[in-house]
């Protein structure tokens, strides 16, 4: 089944429920609220989602798969990633309980559930499906820059760091573009995006020789749309992930970039050395993109979730002054400045 066919999901967060500690859970609850029947988090069980997350849907937090059974769940979605590569024992128990009830298991982990003999055997026994959404399959295409010639306008969200709003910005812009009357597609390049959109490729899991080829292929799938918002990954200056970021930039050959940033974030997550500034990122990304296809950074998407309204407005104004670009927090204040900029830059109605 496609992961969108599961419409009564339990989302596992196992003690890490929160806007910054369970990125996948947060996004799935935000963008598929009607398909989530419960959050599984023993540490927060019984609390209201809004009290833990800062916003909320009317979705109960439970302590076990058993407790959620009256809600008739059809699947368990792993909403967090383990520290290190291995599945914690507690997760195994939850996953096992779900499998024994025939529920599908939706995973975006690097470790493939189907390679886990115990879980795979249990799933066969109970006719439960294991969906390893991060697995790109045997993908072996080398990009040659042909995405530049596709009729669809390609907008890539890039960022100054990981976990800074690239997927959310692409989703919000897609929705806003549709409201503007454009035939817009969202292109998922990571496991959470795939959980929300139902298709895509986790480009960071593709063999590096073929990562740009994956981006190129994804763009071809939306070639006949008016505009596509392609979810970026990592950052062009991140020591671990910059290769993935550049593969997307050169595979997708975007016509426009929207850069995602958080005011005051001066370091990549977990990295000691100061990261390049927002303006340095803008300059570098434009130079790199233009080696393949004419492209401009058309706006900045700021994450201001940790600021007061007044501070958020001030940060937006300061960033606009600094970059001479339209700036928006798309979740908090809407997408209008960015949609207007794209309309002008891409000559859209």
The answer to the question of residue 331 lying near a second copy (CB under 8 A) is: no
Contact map string, positions 187 to 226, toward a second copy, x by CB under 8 A: ----------------xxxxxxx-xxx-------------
Residues, the chain, total? 349
**Taking CB under 8 A as the rule, does residue 137 contact a second copy?**
no
Interaction of residue 284 with a second copy, rule CB under 8 A: yes
CB 215 within 8 A of CB 136: no
160 binds a second copy (CB under 8 A): no
Q: Kindly state whether residue 128 participates in binding a second copy, applying the rule CB under 8 A.
A: no
Part of the chain binding a second copy (CB under 8 A), chosen from 2-10, 35-43, 217-225, 287-295: 287-295
User: What tokens appear for 289 in the block?
Assistant: 């993109």
- Please say which residue, 44 or 250, places its beta carbon nearer to a second copy: 250
CA angle, 177 as apex, 30 and 216 as ends, to 5°? 85
Residue 348 buriedness (CB in 10 A; 0-12 / 13-18 / 19+): middle
- Segment lying near a second copy (by CB under 8 A), choices 23-31, 178-186, 222-230, 231-239: 231-239
Residue 251 interacts with a second copy (CB under 8 A): yes or no = yes
User: By the 8 A CB rule, do 80 and 56 touch?
Assistant: no
Q: Considering only the stretches 23-31, 95-103, 169-177, 270-278, report the one whose residues sit in contact with a second copy under the rule CB under 8 A.
A: 270-278
Q: Which helix (H) or strand (E) holds 261?
A: strand 256-261
Question: Parallel, antiparallel, or unpaired: how do β-strands 184-187 and 227-230 relate?
Answer: parallel
Least Cα distance to 180 among 326, 300, 349 occurs for 349
| Min dist. Cβ of residue 178 to a second copy (A) | 30
Q: How many residues bind a second copy, per CB under 8 A?
A: 46
Measured distance CA(284)–CA(286) in Å, rounded = 5
Contacts of 334 (CB under 8 A, 6+ apart): 176, 328
280 in contact with a second copy (CB under 8 A): yes
**CA distance linking residue 290 with residue 243, whole number of Å:** 17
**Residue 337 touches a second copy, criterion: CB under 8 A:** no
Report helix, strand or coil for 223: coil
Figure out which of the listed residues 50, 125, 140, 220 binds a second copy, where binding follows CB under 8 A: 140
* Tokens encoding 62: 């439970």
* Min dist. Cβ of residue 37 to a second copy (A): 32
> Is residue 276 part of the contact set for a second copy (CB under 8 A)?
yes
**Which residues in this chain contact a second copy in the complex, by CB under 8 A?**
85, 110, 140, 142-145, 148, 203-209, 211-213, 236-247, 249-251, 253, 270-273, 275-276, 280, 284, 287-288, 291-292
């Amino acid at each position: 089944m496609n992961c969108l066919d599961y419409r009564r999901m339990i989302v596992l967060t196992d003690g890490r429920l929160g806007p910054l500690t369970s990125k996948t859970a947060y996004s799935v609850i935000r963008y598929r609220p009607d398909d989530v029947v419960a959050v599984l988090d023993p540490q927060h069980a019984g609390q209201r989602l809004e009290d833990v997350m800062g916003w909320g849907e009317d979705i109960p937090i439970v302590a076990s798969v058993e407790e959620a059974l009256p809600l008739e769940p059809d699947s368990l979605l792993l909403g967090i990633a383990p520290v290190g590569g291995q599945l914690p024992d507690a997760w195994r128990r939850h996953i096992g309980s779900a499998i024994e009830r025939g529920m599908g298991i939706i995973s975006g982990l690097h470790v493939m559930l189907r390679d886990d003999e115990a879980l795979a055997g249990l799933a066969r026994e109970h006719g439960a499906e294991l969906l390893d959404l991060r697995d790109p399959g045997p993908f072996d295409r080398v990009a040659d820059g042909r995405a530049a010639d596709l009729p669809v306008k390609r907008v890539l969200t890039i960022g100054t760091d990981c976990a800074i709003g690239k997927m959310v910005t692409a989703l919000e812009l897609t929705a806003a573009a549709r409201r503007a009357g454009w035939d817009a597609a969202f292109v998922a390049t990571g496991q959470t995006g795939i959980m929300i959109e139902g298709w895509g490729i986790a480009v960071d899991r593709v063999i590096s020789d073929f990562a740009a080829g994956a981006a190129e292929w994804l763009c071809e799938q939306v070639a006949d749309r008016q505009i596509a918002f392609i979810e970026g990954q990592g950052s062009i200056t991140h020591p671990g992930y910059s290769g993935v970021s550049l593969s997307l930039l050169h595979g997708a050959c975007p016509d426009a970039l929207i850069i995602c940033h958080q005011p005051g974030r001066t370091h990549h997550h977990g990295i000691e050395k100061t990261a390049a500034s927002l303006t340095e990122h803008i300059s570098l990304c434009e130079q790199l993109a233009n080696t393949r296809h004419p492209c401009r950074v058309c706006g900045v998407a700021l994450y201001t979730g940790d600021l007061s309204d007044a501070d958020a407005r001030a940060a937006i104004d300061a960033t606009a002054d600094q970059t001479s670009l339209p700036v928006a927090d798309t979740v908090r204040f809407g997408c209008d400045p960015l949609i207007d900029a794209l309309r002008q830059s891409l000559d859209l109605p």
